[in-house]
Structures are given as C-alpha cells and as structure tokens.
Structure 1
C-alpha cells in the first residue's frame, strides 16, 4: 500500500471522519476501456467518491455545483496540477500562483484582454485560415495519409491565431514566421511536460524576440498589430519576466489545446453536414440566447469533448460533504461527466448544438473553461477562434470523414480515432 493511502486511512481513523465511498480501484486503467466509468460510479456512490490513479488516492467530484463549492471553500489548500515552469522564469505558471500574487498577475492579464477588439484581427485571421485550408485541400489530392497533413495544418492555424492575439505579429511578416518556427521548436510534437534543453533554448529565443518587439521604436512597429495583449501591457510600463514567461507559455499550452479542439470541431463537422450548411448560410444570425449557429456548435463540442477535468493536489486535510479529503490526495473535478448529466442536458451523449441556441446555462450546469478564481481568462478567445474556423470552413467547403472510429486517450485529452482525418470538398461559387 502506498504511503499516501496509508496516510488517508490513518487520518480517517484518527479524526473519526470517513473517507468518501468507493473501492481503491485504478481508474486510469479502467477509463481506457470504459470512458463512462466515473459517471457510472457517481450514480452508484453519489457525487463524491474515492479511487486510485498514478499509485495515489484520488477523490472524484461529479457535479458542477459541488465542484464549485469545494473550490470556493478550499482553494487556499489546493494546488493546481500543471506544468512546472519555475526553471524558465520566476514564480512559474499563473494557474499555480496563490493569494495576492495570483490576483496581481491575473488582474493584469484580464485587463489586457478585455479591450481587445477582435474585429481588428478578423481579416488577417480569415486570410490565414483560408490559406491553410486551401493548402490542405491541395495536399489531399496528392496523398492518402491525410491525418499527417491535417493535424499540422490545424496546429499552424491555432499557433498563428494565438501569436497574433498575444504578440501582434502580423500574418506573413518575418517576425510572425520567426515566432512560428520557434514555437515549433518549443513543442515539436505537442506540449512538452518536462522542460529540457530544447525547451530552454526555444523559450530563450522567443523571449528575446518579444523583448525586441517591446523595445522597438514607434517608427518601426509596422510589423506588429497595436491591438495585441503584449501591446496593451507595454503601454502600462515594464513587463516583468514572470508575466512575459506566462504569456509565452499561455500561447504554447493554448495552441495545443486549440488544435485539439479544432480536431473535434472537424470531427463533428464531418458528422453533422446539416450544421455546416446552416453555419454557411446563417453566418452571424443570432438566436434568442444571443448565440450564432457557429458559437452553438463550438459550445456543444466543448460540452461533449475536450473539457474533461481539473486536478488539484490537496495540501492540508479537508472536511467536505461529511468526508475527509486527505492531504497528499489528488482531487479530480469531473467536468466531462458533469456535462453529461441529463438533468441539464437531455440526451447528453447526442451532439445537439440547438440546445445552446434555445437555452442559457448557469455555471452549475456548464463550465468548460474551469471554475472559480482560476477559470481560464481566455475562454472568449477560444470560442471566437473556433467559431471563425467553422465559419471559414463552412463558407468554402463540405467536410467528409475519413478513417473514423471510437475516441482514444491521448497524452492530455481524449482525441478522435488515431487515423481520423477529413476530406474537404470545395463548394461551388
């Protein structure tokens, strides 16, 4: 028995407080075979239950109301599990900061994001997406291995969109090309969890490139868009190493998450041609809830996929819901399962974007970007990026599925079947 499990059992006995129900089963192994296992467990055991994963005790919470209450009451005793970036810059990643330090850096980031006018980017974003989709359309005539062409194309779109929004490098400029190259070096095969020499070198060169931008004279700023996050911050005064490091790695983590979301959008687009036709025809027409068909499509995709879980390491013994949540345990806040509860979403495993055109959902029902004070500040950016990709795709192409199959567990997310790709069929003018 692992020391952390022994600790949990001993503390439960000492405090006279039960651990959550459930056997010490290894959910990592079970989930590979049965993705709905935790949802089934919650039906049998209630919204809070225990298990094992990665050789340690896990406490699972299914239900957004319970999860929000847990976070709200205990955030000071929890550490988010994420990349350890202290070797690259002081204080590390924003999502792991605590107290006043977290408030300071988060406020600055939100302040820089809020005034961004996305319409200022749309023409360049559209041009980049159109050119990438056109290039993929051409390549698909020449190869049968469309997966290995499609994923890099989505990666370039996600990377380019974020590089423009964060750093303002104009599409096609030398600075844009340089940053695209350096980000590929930072994570050539996806997000690298372990920081090695290659990541240190690429990070250093990206930081140097951005510092040159920050310090460039006003007469030499034509290659940079004035509406970017970094430009907002530059006007306030010096940008410290912690903030700059966070911006660099928000792009790195974000581009992986975004091209993974783009794959799911393409998958559902191929499975739902009637919705792609509707998006192409209705464009920016809003429903009574204020959503366009493309926005509803993105929100429903996030409900079904990509938004999966939040992990917190417990730093002190916690009493919650009548149970002991022991120190050293990992708490898993189960977003994927919470978004499959039929009380909020009838026919929860069916892809039905219409539900977001007809209904407004509270944070107790729908929270794909996290909970509490650590909710992702870039939620609106992600939705806008996904929406624009869908609109450009729907205006120009029909989407056909290739090599479909059941989802697989990837390194960080569940993904469409390994060989899955799409074929684009150009629409007539």
Structure 2
C-alpha cells in the first residue's frame, strides 16, 4: 500500500489515500426549523445558529477552495429534519437542494461521504421518544436510511452513517446539555444501546449501494495516574462506554451496554468496511475521577489537553483490537483562534499517521475537522476549527494540508 518505507526512507502517502474535511448540516447551514436543536435554541439553551457559515448558498465556492487544496474528499450531513420535516412528509425542495450540492461536488471531483445523523434529529422523531424507543429505530430510522440511500446514492462516494455513535447518548441523556436534556442513567443505557444498533444496521443497509461505509466513533485515551481500585474501575467503565460497545458489535456481533442484557446480532458483525473515528482528547484518572491529561499541556477551550500524541495511542489500541480492519481518521482538529497552534497540531498528527503507515497499519484516509469555521454547538461561533475563515480566506493551516494532499 505504501512505497519503500521499511527503513523510513522514500516515504510516499499511499495511492488513493483520502484527503478530506468534515462538516455537518446544523453547523454549516444552521439548525433546521423542524429539528430538535432549533427548538433547543428557541428555548434559550444554545446560541442561535442562524444560517451557519453560509454553506447552503456558498457550497460551490467552498468546494472550489477544497479542490484547489487537493482535498478531494468531504463529509457532510444530510439533515433529516430538512428532508422529512414532518413524519412521512418529504420536502422535495430540500431534497433537490441537497442533490444540487452533491452534483456540484461531483463536478469538481470531490468525493462526498454522507452522514445521516450528526447529533440533531427531527422534532417529530424526538417527540415520539427518539432513540429511547426501540420501535422508532426499527420503523422510522430504518425507513429514513433506505430513503437516503435511494435518493442520494448515485451522487455519494461513501457513507459515515452516524457521527460519534458513542457520544450522542451522553450528550443528551447524561450530561443534560443537549436535547432532550435528560440526566438519567437508565435512559442513557437504553439510548446508547439503540444508537449503536441504529448505526450498525444503517451500515448494513447502506452497503447495498456498493459504496464504502465507515463508522465514526469518538475515541479518547485514558491514562491511569495511580493504582487505586477506584481508578481501575473508572477506566473499565470508561472503555466499556466509549470503546468496547461499538468495537465488539463490529468484531463479534455482540452488544452489551453496562449491565443490560447482552444482545447477539451476528448479522451486524463486520458491518463497516472500515473503522473510522474522531480524535480530540486524552484524559487521566486519579482517585477514581477524571482529570486533564497531560496536565502539563495547554488546555483547549473545551476542557481537554491539546495533545496530538493521543492519536497514536488510539491508533495503536484500535490496530491491536482489529488488526485486519482498515482504519479511517474521520475527524482530527482543534478549536482555537491561534492558527499557528492549529498548524503545529495538524503537522504533528500527520507525522503520527505517517509513522503508522510505515509499519504497515492500513489507514485509508485523514479528514480534518473542519473546512470553514462554523457553529460549534453550545459555544456558538466563538470556537474556530476551520482551515478557512467564514469569509472564505485561507488560513496558514490550509497550506499544511495542501502540501501533503498534493504530494
């Protein structure tokens, strides 16, 4: 897959390596009026997203910039609440608009990977209980997956069905900062179970399009900073919640969330063509409690250390658990207004990927989060993740990606 590299010389990025960026509908287009996030904004629980970074009208310009940088892959989400604002009622104008976006990308030879659920849901779906209700997954979610595949499959290069599968339940049912704003462990366990099943089932259905399907698990590392029993127990719970559920369902066809009954789903074994993940943070545990790690590193505004070396820990663990499975870095980036910091972080991450490729680890691509500065959920527009400003000016960090993508 990679050229002469056993001695570290003559390294070349693999032919066909995916160089890309990622984005989501709500963050770039603003919250859909029929979405749960729009209702959350109206209730004063999140900053107003308005029209995002203007992607809905500037997508052609954005794709041209990405193409000029050699970034030939891009992930976006098709917002369920826009294409089906009422249960069973599809908005054909919204559908045609998304098809226009996808067609423009294809015209510029940008391969689009579509995400079907990037944190937000139609309000009608959440009013029915969302993923807390198994029937909603079986009936409405599966119907939606099939509709998206049939409607957009001809313009799509690949699928990443659910963004950060293992984070959604925590954000909405345990941390209580995101809709529906609950703080209930039993509900968290149920939703965590249902969203893992929804993700893997979507992957199986989307494979019928003959396009590649990747997961997006939000993966962090956890370092034990003492040998206390409480710390070991915390680490066990951490990896069960954030790693083991999705990995074991993929590898073994078995899902178990907490102390809930084990579910055997052999039909979901090997559901993805590659295991994709986002990496943003590392954590430590001391006295049975989560603490920043490494403590010596600068902290992100989101409360975790800016530590690219954690990417290596994630890659190593994933490869050891799934040695024959291709990997995909589906998101990597930092929120900062210091673009020198972003460039350094990006350079360090790329060097880590290079070193793993040299050892023969099958990594298929690298998606930077994000292309254009956008809406960052509860932080509004105060946190910048892009290599391009909202007025479409390239930052120096864009050059870091251009250099490797155009090698």
Q: What is the TM-score of this pair, normalised by structure 1?
A: 0.27
**Greater relative contact order (Cα 8 A, min sep 6): structure 1 or 2?**
1
**Greater helix fraction, Structure 1 or Structure 2:** 1
CA radius of gyration, larger in: 1
Normalized against structure 2, the TM-score is what? 0.28
